[in-house]
Structure formats: C-alpha cells, structure tokens
Amino acid sequence: MPRNVAVSVGLRSERGPILLSLMLATALVALDATIIATASATIARELGGFEQLPWLFSTYLLAQAVSTPVFGRLADVLGRKRLMLAGVGLFFLGSVLCGAAPTMELLIAGRVLQGLGAGAVMPVSMTIAADIYTLEERAKTQGYLASVWAISAVVGPTLGGVFSEFTSWRWIFLVNVPLCALAAWMLARRYHEPAREGSREPIDYIGAGLLAGGSTLLLLGLLEGGTRWAWVSPASVAIFAAGLLLLATFALHGRRTRHPIVDVSILRRRVVGVSTAISLLVGVVVLGLSTYVPIYAQGVLGTGPLVAGFALAAMTIGWPLSASNAGRLYLRMGFRLTAVVGTCLVVVGTALTLLLGASSSVLAVAAACFVIGAGMGLTAVPTLIAAQSQASFSERGAVTGTNMFARSLGSAVGVAVCGAIVNARTTLGPDGTPAGPGLMSAVHLVFWLLAAVAVALVALAALMPADRQAARQRRAETAATQAAAA
C-alpha cells in the first residue's frame, strides 16, 4: 500500500491531466460502441454486403471482450503506460483503416483492431485511476469515467446520424484520429510510471492464446446463436464444445504455470470472486435493458428512435450520478452495505418495469431506467473498487481485466437468453427487429428475467465481507500520505 500511495503523492499535481486523458481515451471507446448504429444502413448501401453488417458490431465486441483480461494482466507485467499507449495506438490504426476501407471486409478488419484497442484502454484506464487516486477519491474518478459513457449514449447516435447524412460516414472513424493523438500525447507527457523492481515476469503466451481462443468461441456462440444458426444445430454445438474445451485446457495450463496470463486463483478471494460474479450479472441487466427498452418503446408505445434512446439514456445518467457519491457511502458503511443498497435499488427499478404496459408513458420507462442506473452506480463501482483494494500493485490490472471480462460475458449471456425469449413469441419486422402482437408479453418476460437477476444481485452483495475494509484502508492511506509529505 505505501507504494501505491507514493505514486498518488508523486503525481498529485499531474493527476487532473492524466484523468482527462483517460476520459478522452474512454470516450473514443464509448462513442464507437454507439456511433455506428445510426450509420449502418448508409454504410451497407455504399459498400454492399448487407448480410455482413452485424459483424461490424459483433467483431468489435468480441475483440474487446476477449482481449480485456489479457491486456489487464499484461499491464501488470509490462507496465500501465506501455499498454495504454498500445491500446490507443491500436484504436488509431483501426480508425484509419475503417475510415479508408473500400470494402466491407476491410471495414470489419478495422473494427477488430478498434476492439483490440478498446480491450486495452478500458481495463488499463481504470487500473491507472486506481493507482494514482486514494480509496476515498476512487468512486468520484470512476464516476467521471462512467459519465463519459452516459454522454456517449446520447451523443454517439446523434453524431452518427449527422456525419452519415451531411458529410460522410467515414468521418465517424476519421474523427478519432486527432483525438487518439491528443490522448496519447497527454498521457505520454503527464503520466510517469514508477520504476519496477526486480526482473520482469515471463509472459504466458500459451495461456493467452488458449484464453483468447476459448473466449472467442464461447462469446461467438452466445452472440450468434439463434440468429445465424439454431441453438441446437451442429455448428452451435461444435462452437460451444470447442470453446469450453479450450477454456478447460487454459484452466489446467494455469495450474501448472508459475506465472499464468490470468491467475484464476484470484477468484478464490472472497471479495474478488463475489465482485466478479456481480459484474457478470450487471452485464446481463444492462444489456437486457439496452437491447429491449428501445424495442419496447418503439414497437409497443409507438415512439420514435430518438425518444426511445432518451428513455434508455436515463439509466446512463443515474449511473454516474450515484457512482460519484458512492465513496461517501462505502467509506462510512463499508463495501457490503453500499452494494446491498445499490442492488436493492436495482430490484426496485426492475420491479417498476413489471408495471409497464401497452399504454405506459415514456416518462415511466425513463424513471425505471434511472432507478436501475442509480442502483448500478452503487453496485458496480464500489464492488470493483473493493476488488482492486484487495489486489497488490502487481495484480490490480489482472483483477480489473477479469472483472470487466465477466461483465462482457454477462452481456453476451443476457442478449442470448433475452433474445431466445423474445424470438420465441414474436416475428421479425421489415427492419429486422421483433414485432407482432406478442411483443408486449415477450418484453414483459424479459423484464421478469431481469427482476430475477436483480434479486440474485442482492444475494451476491450480501456475500461481500462484512468488515470495514474501506475505513481501515483509508486510515492506512492517510497515515502513509502524511508520512510521505513529512
């Protein structure tokens, strides 16, 4: 801990610009997750290959999810700054390739590079923020990073529509080029990572390959199952079987390797294991809402895409608002009670969605989403910070990357399960989205599923350790800071 505090004290005058560079890099990732949606039809018309359009989204999500735990661990081995700059560089190259792509195949390749860059930027930026800010300050900084996603959820689709209609869809990607350069320049100039002691650990290339391959197949099966192929088709069974086999081999390899790329044993620590499980269920709830609230608002309530998007944006507004104030709660009450309060709010919000019907107002939808977002801010952020606080400096990147990978896996599971529920009761409309008289009942079943997951979140939050880890660590950091200042 004194080492971490020394980093914080030594960088105190530089922390503002560093945080700004992290927010800028996060904004690139967040915008590219949403900005392409409104321009996808224009892209398909110009480049052709409409049947390949879903891969613009799937490949980005796959590359990001699969690389996140690997890059998180590499940040512990090779250094945060090096991996962060590599992530921004990959995103830069991907953006250039996407902006200049003459074919859909090259555009998809560029999206893969962007996804790999995002897989480095997201965990490493959160790890750097945990390194340079004290426990008391981390909730507020995580709230700032979360606010970037809130803004991007509203701004991204709007910018995508503006670029595709008034200039060219290529500017969706080319606008990233100067922003990547600015973020890299600010980080390279301001962030001075402390020198590492001792020899560098060897990199587990075999483990990285097994983890990446198994995760890719598992997530691919979850994302494409029920759409490109049936769940019980030979292709689906083969993909899941191969993915599970590679992941099982990865687990066996990790037990025999002194320095595995991701040490699965860290999940045995109660705080880290519970936090990772919570992150997985958070992914289920967030993606379930993000996918089907707009479909419900448009297909049942008859609103336009813009109004439906604003209803969902209430969740991304409530999240950073509560996350920025979570520090006051967990420093007084501890991580467990804060997480219990947050998950109970998620239960309340999902219960409100069960009251929605065919004649509900958009404001009622937005209110439910806002309550869920507020609960998530008191759940996802404190539990991640709790896991980071239980990790040493040399483990923090791996813990953060594993936590974020669990959320990506939960998102894929949520989309798959909710999609199976909705597809069983509805038909696809002309625009490829669920429609028909069974849409309301199908979405209502999705809301019931999310409510059940919210209850499971409360049970997991209650499993967090009951000690006042936050208070004890705050006193330790304060004493170390005073000693360093003296």
Considering the domain boundaries, does residue 198 fall inside one? no
348 and 467, same domain (yes or no): yes
Considering the domain boundaries, does residue 139 fall inside one? yes
Q: What is the mean pLDDT of residues 98-126?
A: 91
Reading the block at residue 199, the tokens are 């020899």
Q: What is the mean pLDDT of residues 129-141?
A: 81
Split into its structural domains, the chain has a count of 3
- pLDDT band at residue 51, thresholds of 50, 70 and 90? low
Considering the domain boundaries, does residue 363 fall inside one? yes
274 and 254, same domain (yes or no): no
Domain boundary among 216, 231, 260: 260
- pLDDT band at residue 374, thresholds of 50, 70 and 90? very high
Q: What is the mean pLDDT of residues 442-455?
A: 93
Reading the block at residue 411, the tokens are 């998102």
452 and 335, same domain (yes or no): yes
Q: Quick one: pLDDT at residue 238? A: 93
Reading the block at residue 92, the tokens are 């830069």
426 and 468, same domain (yes or no): yes
152 and 230, same domain (yes or no): no
Q: What is the pLDDT of residues 270-289, one digit of tens each?
A: 899 999 999 999 989 988 88
Considering the domain boundaries, does residue 289 fall inside one? yes
Is residue 483 predicted with pLDDT exceeding 60? Answer: no
Report which of residues 270 and 426 the model is more confident about: 270
77 and 179, same domain (yes or no): yes
Considering the domain boundaries, does residue 24 fall inside one? yes
Cβ(223)–Cβ(61) below 8 Å: yes
Cβ(127)–Cβ(72) below 8 Å: yes
Instruction: Provide the residue count of the chain.
Output: 486
Considering the domain boundaries, does residue 285 fall inside one? yes
179 and 322, same domain (yes or no): no
First-residue to last-residue Cα distance in the chain: 17
Cβ(135)–Cβ(295) below 8 Å: no
179 and 228, same domain (yes or no): no
CATH of the domain at 48: 1.20.1250.20
Is residue 218 predicted with pLDDT exceeding 50? Answer: yes
pTM confidence score: 0.82
Domain boundary among 140, 169, 193: 193
Closest CA to 455 of 318, 344, 322: 344
CA atoms within 13 A on the CB side of 198: 5
Q: Quick one: pLDDT at residue 470? A: 46
Considering the domain boundaries, does residue 179 fall inside one? yes
Question: Distance between CA atoms of 445 and 292, rounded to whole angstroms?
Answer: 11
459 and 338, same domain (yes or no): yes
Average pLDDT, the chain: 82
Kindly compute the dihedral angle of the four CA atoms of residues 265, 266, 267, 273, in this order, to the nearest 10 degrees: 160
187 and 236, same domain (yes or no): no
2 and 71, same domain (yes or no): yes
Q: Percentage of residues in the chain with pLDDT exceeding 70?
A: 87
Q: Quick one: pLDDT at residue 2? A: 38
DSSP assignment string, 34-98: HTTGGGHHHHHHHH--GGGTHHHHHHHHHHHHHHHHHHHHHHHHH-HHHHHHHHHHHHHHHHHHH
Q: Which domain holds residue 245?
A: 204-260
User: With left for phi above 0 and alpha for psi between -120 and 50, is residue 105 left, alpha or beta?
Assistant: alpha
Q: What is the pLDDT of residues 353-364, one digit of tens each?
A: 999 988 889 899
Domain boundary among 215, 234, 260: 260
Q: Quick one: pLDDT at residue 481? A: 44
Q: Percentage of residues in the chain with pLDDT exceeding 90?
A: 27
Is residue 116 predicted with pLDDT exceeding 90? Answer: yes
Q: Quick one: pLDDT at residue 243? A: 92
Q: What is the mean pLDDT of residues 373-381?
A: 91
Q: Which of 90-104, 163-177, 198-212, 292-306 has the highest mean pLDDT?
A: 90-104
Q: Quick one: pLDDT at residue 1? A: 37
Considering the domain boundaries, does residue 236 fall inside one? yes
1 and 19, same domain (yes or no): yes
